[in-house]
Amino acid sequence: MRRGSATSVVSGWTQIPSGYSGSEESARIYGYAPGTEPTPELILQRVHPEDVDLVKDAIQRAGEGGDNFDYEHRLLMPDGSIKHICNLAHGHRDEAGDAEVVGAIMDITERRVAEEAIRRSDAYLAGAQRLSHTGSFGWKPDEGEIVWSDETYRIFEYDSTLKPTVDSVVQRVHPADRTLAQQVIDRASLTGTDFEHEYRLLFSDRRVKHVHAIARGVQQVSGHREFIGAVTDITERKTAEEKNPHTGSRAPSDAGLRATAHRRAGAEVRAGCMRIAWRWPITASASTSGVRAMKLRFIPTM
């Protein structure tokens, strides 16, 4: 299906004992001509089939002067496009003591499309990191804050609930490499300069991993320093090199392909292409309810 045009339109409406009033923008959002006298049926005709029960329940509660509500749903337009709508409503009594519900309709299609694009991008990035055994990290020495991607947690074999620290990194480093690793960390923390080095990790079951880390230092607006980097598990490549140091011109192995992916990741770090994405997931519960008959009409609102 094609998605609806990206907008950030807000329109108001009011539910009163004699019916429902909404702005011309409300009619436009639902795809009706200005002046159209709407009914619950006309509104539900535009609602995505999977969201009909949710909207029915909201209309019923609005007609009864029910509780406040804040929910999202989709519209399926006649041309097959989809719009994402946020409905807000607040019940109160007017000066005459009559109950009314005042609300707003927001077309949030643009925001939801952007969120979906970020979600897909995150999924692609996570998949690429898993395939190449390359994780990403962020480190703010002045604040002591470290952020790891899922693949970095897998490489260091820490639970993702652990808040990473410099100490947790050093604890995983092979004792023979620990002094050099600490020197690299201290120098980067002191000078804020880029760094790149290889070291081994030693686990409680005596397994050893070879890793390669690279990071680029950047200056924040606040003046604090931050490193954005990548760490790659190069154990397979190191093992292959130790077993056969003269590989000649044979086809590249899986380890070689991962090494190529790692070099590309390093190039992205140097070019400052690493990024952080975030998202704001929203959910709403749905229940089935009948729709109380009511007279509705669109009128301009201030």
What would the pLDDT profile of 197-227 be if each residue is shown by its tens digit?
A: 999 999 999 999 999 999 999 888 777 889 9
pLDDT of residue 94: 66
SS3 174: coil
Averaged confidence pLDDT in the chain: 75
CB–CB of 254/236 below 8 Å?
yes
- The neighbouring-strand residues paired with 272 are none
The DSSP-derived string for 202-225 is: E-TTS-EEEEEEEEEEEE-TTS-E
Span of 89-93, 100-104, 291-295 with lowest mean pLDDT: 291-295
Question: Any idea what DSSP says for residue 136?
Answer: E
- CA 86 vs CA 98, 106, 278: distances in Å: 26, 5, 20
Give the residue-averaged pLDDT of 160-189. 94
pLDDT of residue 17: 44
Give the residue-averaged pLDDT of 183-191. 93
CB–CB of 269/105 below 8 Å?
no
DSSP run (H or E) holding 135: strand 134-140
- Which residue bears the tokens 């299609």? 109
Superfamily of domain 10-113+285-298: PAS domain (3.30.450.20)
pLDDT of 300 > 50? The answer is no
- Helices 235-243, 254-271: inter-axial angle, 10-degree rounding: 130
pLDDT of residue 151: 92
The C-alpha atoms of residue 34 and residue 24 are separated, in whole angstroms, by 5
pLDDT of 68 > 80? The answer is no
SS3 71: strand
pLDDT of 150 > 70? The answer is yes
DSSP run (H or E) holding 183: helix 175-191
- The neighbouring-strand residues paired with 134 are 232
DSSP run (H or E) holding 97: none
Query: Does CATH number 3.40.190.10 belong to domain 125-271?
Result: no
Percent of the chain with pLDDT over 70: 67
Q: State the pairing for strand pair 19-22/10-16.
A: antiparallel
pLDDT of 3 > 90? The answer is no
Give the residue-averaged pLDDT of 63-79. 79
Which residues are CB-contacts of 132 (< 8 A; sequence separation ≥ 6)? 232, 258, 261, 262, 265
Domain with CATH 3.30.450.20 in the chain: 10-113+285-298, 125-271
- Which residue bears the tokens 């190529």? 260
pLDDT of residue 63: 64
φ and ψ of 135, to 5 deg? -105, 160
Give the residue-averaged pLDDT of 257-269. 54
The C-alpha atoms of residue 167 and residue 291 are separated, in whole angstroms, by 61
pLDDT of 172 > 50? The answer is yes
Which residues are CB-contacts of 20 (< 8 A; sequence separation ≥ 6)? 13, 14, 38, 62, 294, 295, 296, 297
- The pTM score is 0.50
Q: Which letter, b or e, does each residue of 259-283 get, where b requires 16 or more Cβ atoms within 10 Å of its Cβ? A: bebbeebbebbeeeebeeeeeeeee
pLDDT of 188 > 90? The answer is yes
SS3 181: helix
